[in-house]
A and B are shown apart, each in its own frame.
Chain A
């Protein structure tokens, strides 16, 4: 850091471009170190994203030469596509519930178990983390809430006299959303959770000592004034994870309720996107959906970033 400070004095003698060039030459090793990652990243992420954004203004369908159609795809989405509006509604309901709940749950559990003895902590971490690491294990809910009498929930509700007819859990519009939300929460203690645990272990212990001297009275104050502010980068990382997974969800619904879900009651933007992009090959139209989802997620990210900057104040 001291190097840049001394440079800043001589900076006045140079134009901005000259100074930038000088800094670039001095720190060339930085570019060398990001190069392997950046090359792959540009090839497989940046370029395709830019291409998709351009394609969203065309009628590309893999068969004919694409024509430029301006914002027609976007107009069609909002004015002509009733299912898309259902998808937006469902996505917001889902993301609005699962995103914040899974985020808070991940943080609270990580924070609670951080105080346990290392051996017990490892075991408890495993119990909470296992559902999300195990890939498709959530399909077990299909068996637990199976629509016939062999489903665990139906069998016991019947046995205990709460219901007389089996409930067709995943084909009844009243139950699909709540169940999918429950299953998503069940396997939502994932990467964000792990990064919180790791982040908590990296908090400088001497800060707690200092805090106790400065009058931090209980664990909640300690959390708010010391722990949370020292792990803001992890909080931001967890937020991005929650946003991308809660807005991009869909595979749980497909596995449990079939595709499409009954009356589109759990149909989300991702489903709509996969439907047009993956099944109908209307790439232009599906790119427009992706751009809208992109915009929504960036907005959510901005919002969360503002919230996190208020932590500890």
Chain B
């Protein structure tokens, strides 16, 4: 079916040259608005000190240098907890939190949208409504609960709540509804496949585009998590927290700070690029639409 969507075919289907031109122009203007600050942020990190304070400032670099990055690494080595530990913390929490959310969230989403058990609508309404409640106010009760469970000041305090992240479930449920065909599931059930197997083998591959969205969202959320009220030990703190601590040194560290924001940015962008290419490729060939 995907074959139908060739360039030639689309022109026949309701497209005008004027419309194409107008849309392209709009995209280009918006794209420039999006790009300029990003380019500026990146070029700041490669500017030598004299260029950082040049008048008027340039968007581009004249003499690119890695000095800011070197300065940043030197600063990193001065911290008494080795920097690799902060990186390990963030990676551990991010990966386990994201995978747990993907697995539990999709499983619950499958059950809520494809298994007709009583109470599912009511449960889903509760889940959706809870998205609107601001986190600051639940922090106190969460803290009390976590200390009762002995989770304060451990990785669990960051990982377990991420598993029940509502947004992941909500996203998966919406995609299960549009992308997963009920008749396919029905025939799998008639063939004697258990619900768990149907979910894993049939439904999950059909919602791959949603995985990407969920993984990216969850990853970025956990990656950017700064200090947390649940963690006091220095050696359990996140990379983001640590990097913010060392670059908060005013003008003297302007270069290192620019380098730090580029490093913080590059990782989620890489995750996005890799998962996008992997998932979108497989999607085209999996024949998810009958």
Contacts and interface: CB of A to CB of B under 8 A. Distances in A.
Contact of B163 (A37, A233, A240, A244): A37
Contacts of A122: 273, 276-277, 280
B201 interface: no
B167 interface: yes
A52 B141 contact: yes
Interface in A49-85: 49, 51-52, 62
Given A205-B289, A244-B131, A273-B136, A47 B145 contact: yes
Given A135-B224, A201-B209, A27 B264 contact: no
Given A38-B123, A137-B38, A286 B27 contact: no
Contacts of B127: 41
A213 B281 CA distance: 30
A174 B237 CA distance: 39
Interface residues of B, number: 105
A6 interface: no
B220 A233 contact: no
B272 to A, nearest CB: 6
B40 A118 contact: no
Nearest to A118: B280
A237 B175 CA distance: 10
A128 B40 contact: no
A37 B169 contact: yes
A278 B265 CA distance: 28
Q: Which of A34, A186, A209, A301 has the most CB of B within 10 A?
A: A34
B35 A204 contact: no
A156 B288 CA distance: 52
Interface in A214-243: 216-219, 221-222, 230-231, 233-234, 236-237, 240-241, 243
Nearest to A244: B131
A301 B132 contact: yes
Interface in A178-210: 186, 189-191, 194-195, 197-199, 201-202, 204-206, 208-209
Interface in B196-250: 196, 199, 209-210, 212-213, 216-217, 220, 223-224, 240
B107 interface: yes
Nearest to B213: A194
User: Which of B12, B127, B136, B179 is most buried by chain A, counting CB atoms within 10 A of its CB?
Assistant: B136
B111 A248 contact: no
Interface in B243-290: 261, 264-265, 268-269, 272-273, 276-277, 280, 283-284, 288-289
A244 B217 CA distance: 15
A264 interface: no
Nearest to B173: A233
Contact of A40 (B30, B112, B160, B276): B160
A161 interface: no
Chain B binding surface, main DSSP class: helix
B261 A139 contact: yes
Given A30-B111, A109-B30, A205-B1, A222 B178 contact: no
A83 B7 CA distance: 57
Interface stretch (B53-61, B70-78, B80-88): B53-61
A92 interface: no
Contact of A248 (B38, B134, B142): B134
Contacts of B13: 208-209, 212, 222
B21 interface: no
A164 interface: no
A49 B163 CA distance: 18
30 contacts: A27-B118, A29-B111, A33-B196, A40-B160, A44-B138, A46-B126, A48-B142, A48-B145, A122-B276, A122-B280, A128-B31, A134-B264, A134-B268, A135-B265, A137-B261, A149-B55, A151-B57, A152-B57, A155-B57, A186-B37, A191-B213, A194-B212, A194-B213, A194-B217, A195-B174, A205-B1, A206-B4, A212-B12, A233-B178, A298-B132
Interface of A: 1-2, 4, 20, 23-24, 27-31, 33-34, 36-41, 43-49, 51-52, 62, 105, 109, 112-113, 115, 118, 122, 124-131, 133-141, 143-144, 149-152, 155-156, 158-159, 186, 189-191, 194-195, 197-199, 201-202, 204-206, 208-209, 212, 216-219, 221-222, 230-231, 233-234, 236-237, 240-241, 243-244, 248, 270, 273-274, 277-278, 283, 286-287, 289-290, 293-294, 297-298, 301
Interface of B: 1-2, 4-5, 10, 12-16, 19, 23, 26-27, 30-31, 33-35, 37-38, 40-41, 44, 53, 55-57, 59, 104-105, 107-108, 110-112, 115-120, 123, 126-134, 136-142, 145, 160-161, 163-164, 166-167, 169-171, 173-175, 177-179, 182, 186, 194-196, 199, 209-210, 212-213, 216-217, 220, 223-224, 240, 261, 264-265, 268-269, 272-273, 276-277, 280, 283-284, 288-289
List the 3 shortest-distance A-B pairs measured between CB atoms, nearest first. Answer: A40-B164, A198-B209, A48-B138
